Amino acid sequence: MTGQICFLLNDRQVCTSQAPGVSVLTYLRQAERLIGTKEGCREGACGACTVLLGELDGEQVSYKVVPACLLLLGELPGKHLVTIEGLNQAQLSLVQNALVDFGATQCGFCTPGIVVSLTGYLLAGGTDISVAGIKQALSGHLCRCTGYAALQRASAALVRFISQHSHASISDLIALTLLPDYFQTIPARLRQLPKTPSDNGQTSPEFWIAGGTDLCVQSGPRLASAPVRFLSQFREMKGISRRDGQIHIGALTTFAELAVHPVIRQLIPDIQGYMARLASWQIRQQATVGGNIMGASPIGDVSNLLVALDARLILQRDGQRRTVPLQGFYRGYKDTAQHPGEILIEIVVPVPDPGVRINVEKVSKRLSVDCASVNSAIAVHCESGIIQTCSLSIGGVAPIPLFLKQTSAYFQHKPLTKETIQGAFPILQREIAPISDIRGSAIYKRLLARQLLIAHFTQLFPELITVRDFHETH
Ligand SMILES: Cc1cc2nc3c(=O)[nH]c(=O)nc-3n(C[C@H](O)[C@H](O)[C@H](O)COP(=O)(O)OP(=O)(O)OC[C@H]3O[C@@H](n4cnc5c(N)ncnc54)[C@H](O)[C@@H]3O)c2cc1C
Ligand code: FES
Ligand code: FES
């Protein structure tokens, strides 16, 4: 069979001539009639369409769990796409059995995606499998309308069972009935797949696609017929390193990669805790740092952090590169200093002086899969109780992720006391201009901005200042 996009779909090779911007969810349900992958929200928020995507990684295949509604056909060449049908075996699988044993079934829309996510977690988790981790794996499955506690009990039992058995290799996982036999053959078959391009290599496409988690929601139907290009082809845009006093973050670094990278953890010890508040486990494996910046949302959680860290953007067009400070990149709502055709290659963060402490805060209505009402980040250096430098950013209170220039400058060379922090409140309030919307009233957001300022200092310097110090001002 000839076609433009060739990949393995469950146990068989598929080549399709459908456009690269067609959603995998649409393709599975309409072209393949694989209707176990359900269509719920089509916005990455319900988990009903969850699939596994496997890619050769040396001799092995590494799998991630992604929502098919935010995945496009152009991401599939050379990969292994696994739907719920591809996990079914002659008997119930390990995960399916656990759900039955604990009476842990959600409705018919939610259950297939949950089976895929739990399988994907146990498949990809290696030695890090834990009860906390498997709960995170469920974070993209939003509905709680049936037996959710039973689902958590079934998940915990799965973790216990897997931990007590050898689970290092695919053959171990097949023996445990987590996976069907054919998974054993996938690495060799992926190597033999015909090499097909993701797109037609246009130099000026209508859409550059990174993780697609924003674009598929905003422009989904248009992508199917528009000229698109997939940035994932550019391997050099991935990875994090520290050299020449700077941290280099490839624009295609995913949220999940950022959360666990040792260079980032050294900089922000609790980065994992913060990143766990972004989107869902599934989306964090797909969403990129570059997409967060270029999407220019005023509540982008990673862009907000990078504004406080005084990051620089390396932008490229026709082989020419230029460097732009992120603090001056945003000009208005969804309006940036990006030139037409420019792509973001890398983000460079100056390594802060030793002694700089960094904190990030996010307030949203739900803990998972929810955008911030207000988010804020700070990088502050305090010596012998005197603030030496301070860099503060805030999102959700202006049309852009905002660098709080005046508030930051105010703190310089002041003692770190309750009075100093209170003195910043009027300056902070003058710098922001929140509007009332679905995420809260303008008054509420002003209150949050003040509370997050207090939270930054009490989190970072508990030896100098605590929330209790502010009680009388509440
Ligand atoms: C359910 C759900 C929950 C979410 N939760 C959060 C959240 O908690 N916090 C948050 O901040 N965001 C959240 N998002 C938004 C989104 O996931 C992020 O903004 C993500 O970082 C976008 O990255 P991406 O790689 O998917 O971008 P894409 O969708 O691929 O691209 C977004 C835009 O940026 C452009 N672009 C991307 N990369 C580049 C590049 N390198 N050079 C030039 N242009 C580029 C694209 O052309 C497009 O215009 C959520 C989204 C969903 C669907
Ligand atoms: S349909 Fe809801 S996450 Fe894809
Ligand atoms: S909608 Fe499926 S369990 Fe609630």
The reply to whether the predicted model has a pTM over 0.75 is yes
pLDDT at 377 over 50: yes
pLDDT at 444: 97
Q: What is the pLDDT of residues 383-398, one digit of tens each?
A: 999 999 999 999 999 9
pLDDT at 473: 52
361-379 mean pLDDT = 92
First to last CA, the chain: 70
Q: Which tokens go with 382?
A: 């305090």
pLDDT at 197: 78
Q: What is the pLDDT of residues 117-141, one digit of tens each?
A: 999 999 987 778 999 999 989 989 9
Instruction: Say which residues have a Cβ less than 8 Å from residue 376's Cβ, sequence separation at least 6.
Output: 304, 360, 361, 392, 393, 394, 395, 449, 452, 453, 456
156-181 mean pLDDT = 95
Ligand 3 pocket residues where CB is under 6 Å: 106-107, 109-110, 143, 145-146
378 closest CA partner among 364, 397, 363, 357: 357
pLDDT at 3: 53
Interval between CA 100 and ligand 3 midpoint (Å)? 16
Which domains are present in the chain? 5-192 (3.10.20.30), 238-350 (3.30.465.10)
Provide the 3-class DSSP secondary structure of residue 299.
coil
Residues 296, 300, 305, 311: what is their CA dihedral angle, to the nearest 10 degrees? -20
Q: Which tokens go with 297?
A: 């949302």
Pairs from 458-464 (Cβ < 8 Å, separation ≥ 24)? 459/359, 459/361, 460/357, 460/359, 460/378, 460/380, 461/357, 461/382, 461/416, 464/382, 464/385, 464/416, 464/417
210 C-beta closer than 6 A to ligand 2: no
Interval between CA 163 and ligand 1 midpoint (Å)? 35
pLDDT at 154 over 60: yes
Q: What is the pLDDT of residues 241-279, one digit of tens each?
A: 999 999 999 999 999 999 999 999 999 999 999 999 999
340-356 mean pLDDT = 95
Interval between CA 235 and ligand 1 midpoint (Å)? 18
pLDDT at 330 over 70: yes
pLDDT at 214 over 50: yes
Interval between CA 86 and ligand 1 midpoint (Å)? 29
Q: What is the pLDDT of residues 433-449, one digit of tens each?
A: 999 999 999 999 999 99
Report which ligand 2 atom has the smallest distance to the Cα of 41. 2
Interval between CA 102 and ligand 3 midpoint (Å)? 17
Ligand nearest to the CA of 234: 1
pLDDT at 4: 86
Q: Which tokens go with 467?
A: 């929330």
pLDDT at 82 over 70: yes
421 closest CA partner among 378, 384, 357, 360: 378
If you count them, how many residues does the chain have? 474
For ligand 2, mutation pick of 23, 24, 49, 282 (most atoms within 8 Å of CB): 49
129 closest CA partner among 86, 172, 103, 168: 168
pLDDT at 369: 83
136: exposed, middle or buried (C-beta count within 10 Å: 0-12, 13-18, 19+)?
A: middle
Distance of CA 59 to the CA centre of its chain: 27
Interval between CA 40 and ligand 3 midpoint (Å)? 10
Nearest CA to ligand 1 atom 25: 211
Average pLDDT, the chain: 94
pLDDT at 144: 73
Ligand nearest to the CA of 46: 2
Encoded amino acid at 177, one letter: T
**Cα–Cα distance between 121 and 142 in angstroms, integer?**
17
Provide the pLDDT confidence category of residue 103 given band limits of 50, 70 and 90. very high
Nearest CA to ligand 1 atom 23: 291
